[in-house]
Amino acid sequence: MITVLVVDDSATVRRVITEGLNRTKDIRVVGAAPDPYVARESIMALAPDVITLDVEMPRMDGISFLAKLMQYRPQAVVVISSLTPAGSQEAMRAYRLGAAEVLCKPGSAYDVADAVPRLARAIRAAAAARIRAPRSSSLPEIAKTPLRTQALSRTSDQVLALGASTGGTEALRELLAGLPGDSPGTIIVQHMPPLFTASFAQSLDRTSRLHVSEAHGGEPLLPGLAYVAPGGHHLAVVRTGAHYQVELRDGPEIHFQRPAVDIAFLSAAKAAGANAVGVLLTGMGQDGAAGLKAMRDAGAHTIAQDEASCVVFGMPKAAIDCGAACEVAGLAAMPERIAAAFRRRLTHHLATEPS
């Protein structure tokens, strides 16, 4: 049984969340607090497995409390933030501080009941997460080199596909920071609500040599460019003539997610085949496993993150178990493993190219 402490200044929200979560088979709310000061005492007394934490509260805001909590008592936390530009910036800070998941706050207290199933899934992911204290220093901002108009024509037919969920925001930041600025065109699927993905793309752009932006659909996949799937839309790779481009799709959620990693990986397998590298990072559930298997079957090189470096080993484990991964690697080794895979592909291409 997963025990939960609900921290929210609204008595109505506390009641609705408590009643909704207590109807699940595996989650029980053991306490509720109206502000961080009461929450601190409740944490010491109740030792909950997971805390749900509202951002906007009196006396101390949720982000400030999260910073103190993760410094002195690292804890599985699901942050609930407003779906606004300011809220999306708070969400990015919450991830960097160590929040396992960040959800959108419903429009009113009475919409909370409809959001309880998604909250329950986030709580399960948080309970399974390997919680670590945040790093003392963040990744430095990286100056970009201008994109060349004829950038690496020999690698423009290659695609890098990355997928992640719980723990993925920081894993992706670390991975992209290690990739060279002329890496093949890259697609990124991180399970995240709408609007938050724009801020996430901006945060990746600041610490990566790649030019990272949220996808809008129709963008060409060229070396040095990376596109983040927007929350609420699936992202796919399609072939147009001699090049690839990004396509956004509606449609039902896959594995309770939109965007889903499987959609992106399956499209990369179909469009790029052996010209792609697929990487499945930390996350809860099975999203991406079938897609990564399709990529491997199509000739792509596929990599799954190892258990030791994952926050949650669920998605990579599912991929490994079904034979989808050509190799398993730690996060720190990922940039070189990816570069090596593309070098092998380029060497093979040059060896077989007509003279």
Predicted pLDDT at 138: 62
Whether the domain at 2-128 and the domain at 153-352 fall into the same CATH topology: yes
Q: Give the pLDDT mean for 102-124.
A: 81
> Which amino acid appears at position 160 of this protein?
L
pLDDT band for position 241 (50/70/90)? Answer: confident
Residue 306 has pLDDT above 70, yes or no: yes
- Checking DSSP bridges between strand 276-280 and strand 159-164, what pairing results, if any? parallel
CA pair distance 229, 213, nearest whole angstrom: 9
**Tokens matching residue 228:** 């983040």
pLDDT band for position 172 (50/70/90)? Answer: very high
Q: What is the pLDDT of residues 46-100, one digit of tens each?
A: 999 999 999 988 889 999 999 999 999 999 999 998 766 667 888 999 999 999 9
What's the mean per-residue pLDDT of the chain?
90
Residue 348 has pLDDT above 60, yes or no: no
Predicted pLDDT at 58: 84
CA pair distance 18, 27, nearest whole angstrom: 10
pLDDT band for position 23 (50/70/90)? Answer: very high
**Axis-axis angle for helices 168-177, 85-97 (nearest 10):** 80
Residue 182 has pLDDT above 80, yes or no: yes
Predicted pLDDT at 151: 44
Predicted pLDDT at 135: 63
Q: Tell me how crowded residue 57 is: count the other CB atoms within 10 A of its CB.
A: 21
Lowest mean pLDDT, pick from 130-139, 286-295, 329-338: 130-139
Predicted pLDDT at 110: 52
Q: Of 335, 342, 341, nearest to 179 (Cα)?
A: 335
8 A C-beta contact, residue 93 and residue 65: no
For the chain, how many residues are written? Answer: 355
CA 231 to chain centre: 11
Q: What is the pLDDT of residues 138-164, one digit of tens each?
A: 677 776 766 654 444 444 689 999 999
User: Residue 267, SS3?
Assistant: helix
**Tokens matching residue 263:** 């959609």
Residue 176 has pLDDT above 80, yes or no: yes
CATH of domain 153-352: 3.40.50.180
Predicted pLDDT at 154: 45
CATH fold group of domain 2-128: Rossmann fold (3.40.50)
Domain borders along the chain are 2-128, 153-352
Q: Give the pLDDT mean for 209-236.
A: 96
Is the bond into 259 cis (omega within 30 degrees of 0)? yes
**Axis-axis angle for helices 289-297, 261-272 (nearest 10):** 10
Q: Tell me how crowded residue 30 is: count the other CB atoms within 10 A of its CB.
A: 17
> Which amino acid appears at position 234 of this protein?
H
Q: Tell me how crowded residue 332 is: count the other CB atoms within 10 A of its CB.
A: 11
Active-site positions? 165, 191, 287
**Percent of the chain whose predicted confidence (pLDDT) is above 90:** 78
